[in-house]
Structures are given as C-alpha cells and as structure tokens.
Amino acid sequence: MDYRTERDSMGEILVPSKAYWGAQTQRSMENFTQSAERMPMPIIYALATIKKASAIANSKSGRLDSKRRDIIITVCDEILAGKLDEHFPLTVWQTGSGTQTNMNVNEVIANRGNELSGEKLLHPNDHVNMSQSSNDTFPAAMNISAVTEINGHLFPALDEGMRVLERLMTENMSVIKTGRTHLQDAVPITFGQEISAWLEMVSQGKDAISQAMTTLYPLALGGTAVGTGLNAPEGFAEESAHEIAGLTGLPFTTSPNKFHALTSKAAFAYVHGALKGLSADMMKIANDIRWLSSGPRCGLGEIFIPENEPGSSIMPGKVNPTQCEALTMSAVQVMGNDSAIGFAASQGNFQLNVFMPVIAYNFLQSVNLLAETFSYFTRKCLEGIRPNKDKMQENLSKSLMLVTALNPHTGYDKAALIAKNAHERNITLKESAVSLGILTAEEYDRYINPQDMV
C-alpha cells in the first residue's frame, strides 16, 4: 500500500495515499480497536449537514469566503450522497466526545475539497470546523441522526404495519372466538377486536415517540467547547440551526441553554424509553401471533400464518413462526440498549457527557432494528394472516366461560356450579345446566348466544 505523510499538532504520521482522511483519523485507527462496530453512517451524514450549514452561516457572518464555502458545500453533498462512505472508518469505541469522528469528517472534507479545487484551500480545523467544537457538533449530529432515522425509516415501517392491521381488523370484526386471560379461557371476543388492540399499540407507540422526539429538536451547535460559545460569532447558533432545519426539512432550533445541551443526554434516554415501550408492544403482538398459530395440530391453531421456510434440520415438514422470533429478539435487544443508554446518559460529568458514541450507536441500532424487523414482519407475516374459523368455532363451543352470560339469570354461584360440573364430567355447559336442573334446554339456548357477548 502506498502512503503519504500527514501532519497535525503531534507531528507526522503515515496515511494511506488514497484515503481522504488525515492525521487525527489515522491516529484514532492506530490507538483504538478496529472492531466491527463502526460509527453509524447516519452520524456521518448528520455531521456533513452540520458542516454544510456551518459554512453557510460562517459565510453570512463574513468569516468564511464564498470560495471556501462553496467547496465545503460540494464535498458535503458528496458525503450526503454516499459517495465517500469508505473514508469514514472509525470505531464507536473511541473518545467519548466523538472528537475523532468529527475530525475524520473535517479532514475528509478538507482533503477532498483541496483535491477538487486543485489547491490547498481548506484546513480541517480553521475552515471546516470554523465556529465549532467536537463538543457541540457531535451532540448536534446525534440529535439530527436520531430524528432523521426515526422519521425516515421507523415511522414509514409503522405506518405500513398499521395499514395492514387496519385491514385485518376490518375483515375479521365479525369472526367470533374465545378470549383468553391468564392463558386461560375467557369470554368471547371477535378476532377483529383482538387485532384492534395490536393496531392501537402501534399507533400509540408511534405517538409516544413523536411526542418525546420534540426534546431532540434543540441543538447544541454554537456552544463550542463548554457551552459559552467561545470562537463562534454572534448569531451563529441561530443561523446554523436555521440552515439545518432548511436542509433537513425538520424543525431544529438552537438550544436555549448550551451548557445543558452539551452535558445532558436525558433526551436520548427519554426518547429511547418510548422506543422501548414500542418494543414491549412488538413483543406482545408477536407472541400473541405465535401462540394463536401454534400447532398446527397440537396447539391453539386459531390462525394461519405464512410458511416462509423449513423450520427444522431434523423434523421434516416442520414450519416455525420465524418472523415472530426475529421481531421478539429485536425487542429484547432494544430493551438491552435502553439500559446502556440510561447508564451512559447518567455520565454527564461537569460540562460534557463523554459516553456519546455508545449512546448514538445503541439508539440508532434500536431505531434500525425496529424499523427493519417490523417491516419484514408486516410483509412476511401480518399480510398473510388468515383466521382458522373452524378451529375458532370449535374452541369457542368448548369454552366454559360462556357461562358468564348466565350470571344475570342464575346468579354467580349457580353459574359457577354449572361450569365446574361441566368441566369435571367433560360435558357441555348446556348438558350440565340441564342435568343440574338449573335451566331447561330452551332457557339455555335463549341466554347463551356468543353474538350477544361481543
């Protein structure tokens, strides 16, 4: 491999000749484990958005000339188009402020910009990082990437799932089946009513995330190193936030208290708490579906789900609820991520939280997992659900809890006696009521009608 010599404040270092990064990126690669957990690209794209907005704001304040502004914008657009992805190699497990990733972006923009301009026009610190610090750019990038990924990936996946659930609910609103509480038989319910709960879970989960996400709109940018705004011109914070809002189409603003914005990451714990709430409901929905589809002959077997692949390497013909399993595993991972984010958010010592990369990594992983697995779950499972009406009717007819409808006519104690006698003698409720002399057959038929119980 060919190398070139780069210099920074610590001296010279060899960098691969084809790499756009510079000395500080290279030092990070040599000083930290190069694990599989790379800094998520949404963070890089968010930093590119910040650099573009900052160049525009610095140009408006007269600090940055139009030639440098334009070349910074050009390179940022290349980054945002995904053309330079291979030049951002750093691991999550680096400095807790994200400084090395900020400098990675600064160096790539400077070196690529100088290549495009044919002269040494840009310095990574003096021009690309003008009016900024890693301490305010990285937390701002966290906010931007979180909101962008939720809006761009998670919410569309939830919307897709809600459309399918609404269709299933409508189609099955008159299909009566037995309800279940405590995993025991309960009074009847329609399959559509059961699905309506799943639909509401997704809807309320989305609403909770959307409401919590407003805490991520205020940006730390303009606070520079410790929140005082040192080396940033007056109005930079407001103007850069305005530009970011325009570039993203999202209502970002400047944080009214930069000291808080740099050190507190409670907003991420709060928003991720809403993601955890959604994952809890995803777990419930997936578990309901795999219980209801269990069998096919020795389980509940009340619904059919798509058969996507063989389920066993040894048992021929076995098919498993694999989409349910993928979604529930993702939910477990999100719950684990929530613990990591909560611990990391508690570590905002003095003027800076230095657990930001792990917060960003876990948060974005949760968003991506929920978006991707729920999208596949919708297309590979939900869309193909069909009720097994015969099995539902069979289970309903055997349910002892139909006896609940007798309470107003016989009283609770006599109704309980009918149910207990039917269970012990393995006979129907009707046979039990008649044999005990509590009701006639005609009275039973008049009182017990599942249609009237839902």
Q: Phi-psi bin for 310: left (phi > 0), alpha (psi -120 to 50), beta?
A: beta
Query: Would you state the structure tokens that stand for residue 313, as one six-digit string?
Result: 């390497």
Q: What are the start-end ranges of the H helices in 13-154?
A: 23-31, 41-60, 66-80, 99-117, 134-149
Torsion over CA of 163, 167, 168 and 171, rounded to 10 degrees?
Answer: 170
Angle between helices 41-60 and 236-248 (to 10 degrees): 130
Please give the full DSSP string across 249-317, using - where no structure is assigned: TS--EE-S-HHHHHH--HHHHHHHHHHHHHHHHHHHHHHHHHHHT--SSSS---EE----S---SSSTT
CA distance 213 to 154: 13
Amino acid sitting at position 134:
S
CA distance 232 to 140: 15
Task: Clarify whether 54 is annotated catalytic.
Answer: no
Question: What's the Cα-to-Cα distance from 337 to each of 99, 323, 333, 359, rounded to whole Å?
Answer: 23, 21, 6, 9
Q: What are the start-end ranges of the H helices in 293-425?
A: 322-345, 356-380, 389-398, 407-410, 412-425
Which is catalytic among the residues 9, 35, 66, 182?
A: 182
Task: Clarify whether 153 is annotated catalytic.
Answer: no
Amino acid sitting at position 230:
L
CA distance 45 to 123: 20
Q: Are the CB atoms for 356 and 142 separated by under 8 Å?
A: yes
Cis status, amide bond into 306, omega within 30 of 0: no
CA distance 354 to 347: 7
Question: What's the Cα-to-Cα distance from 44 to each of 40, 51, 183, rounded to whole Å?
Answer: 7, 10, 48
Which is catalytic among the residues 312, 339, 346, 435?
A: 312
The number of beta carbons lying within 10 Å of the beta carbon of residue 129 is 22
CA distance 235 to 239: 6
Cα-flanking dihedrals φ and ψ of residue 80, to 5°? -65, -25
Q: Which residues are catalytic?
A: 182, 312
